[in-house]
A = this chain, B = another copy of it.
Amino acid sequence: MNEHRPGYLIRPNPADPRLTRRVAGVNEAGERVETSVTVERALTLYLNAQEIVTMMTIGDYPEDLAVGYLLNQNMLKPDDVVTGVEYDEDLSVVVVRTGHETNFEDKLKKRTQTSGCAQGTAFGDLMEALETVRLPAAPLRTSWLYRLTHAVNTTPSLYLEAGAIHGCVLAREDRPLVYMEDVGRHNAVDKIAGWMFRHREGGGDKIFYTTGRLTSEMVIKTVRMGIPILVSRSGFTAWGVELARQCGLTLIGRARGKRFLALSGEERIVYDQDLSYVEEESARSRRKGAADE
């Protein structure tokens, strides 16, 4: 297999001194040692004048994170007009401005008497929004899948530098385009959703790769981005599989080395890769163990 040279639009920058810190400690033998740890920062998000949430994030791409969070919580609709995104590093605040008051703000006012919690409100909306999505019949060639995962696993990242972090990659065919990492639960996927919205990039010809588990929430977010194929090196949950089948999403898990398992949408898979040419994932490219939370 030729070395694949990814042409990333955005890739991790593990050399950025703001993203990791050296910390001293002791090991099992009582020896003083030093290690790199990932930095996480509080970031408070406003939608116009409304305070929405304080997130823990590594702090890169706050504008994409803000917009993506609002989209994935259904607080911002795909056809809403964002007139500005302002990030204040000193205050750790990001403000997303829309032309007119969004539907979410109306809803919040009406429902505070009974619900009061954005999380609870947004969950039902998320499920509703899924029903209108139609994912295209795009193919997934297994040759793309192997080249893509190899490219991602060999890309220098915060994960390889300090661990304890998640990664998500937006890809087209075998080419990774946008690779985001974050400590926060779904910040990495939200940053990609925000990037797609802000760059008017459609999901129909894309593949989404995540280091995380294939839960219902990950499936919902992928479908909402309009992406027909979701790939992970990790495992599945039952409801993740069920939702993927309902939405016609191709769901591929446990993708490590030459192995993978598809539990939904297998009709998109084109087996064009001769498996005898795929090496088992090399020790060098194998991730140190999955980032877990």
23 contacts across the A-B interface (CB closer than 8 A): A20-B238, A21-B238, A26-B262, A27-B260, A27-B261, A28-B258, A28-B275, A37-B240, A37-B241, A38-B235, A40-B215, A40-B240, A51-B116, A52-B117, A52-B120, A53-B120, A108-B116, A112-B116, A117-B119, A164-B214, A183-B237, A213-B291, A213-B292
- Residues of A22-54 at the interface with B, using a CB-CB cut-off of 8 Å, are 23-30, 33, 35, 37-42, 44, 50-54
For A124, list chain B residues within 8 Å (CB).
Answer: 54
Asked whether any CB of chain B lies closer than 8 Å to the CB of A205, the reply is no
How large, as a class, is the contact surface on chain A? 35 or more
CB distance from A77 to the nearest CB of B (A): 19
Other contacts beyond A28-B260, A37-B238, A118-B119: 19, CB < 8 A: A23-B236, A25-B261, A26-B261, A26-B262, A30-B271, A35-B263, A37-B241, A42-B123, A51-B115, A53-B119, A56-B216, A117-B118, A164-B213, A166-B293, A183-B215, A185-B185, A211-B292, A212-B293, A234-B291
Pick the residue among B24, B42, B215 that contacts A293 (CB under 8 A). B215
State in angstroms the CA–CA spacing of A237 and B236 once bound together: 26
For A29, list chain B residues within 8 Å (CB).
Answer: 275
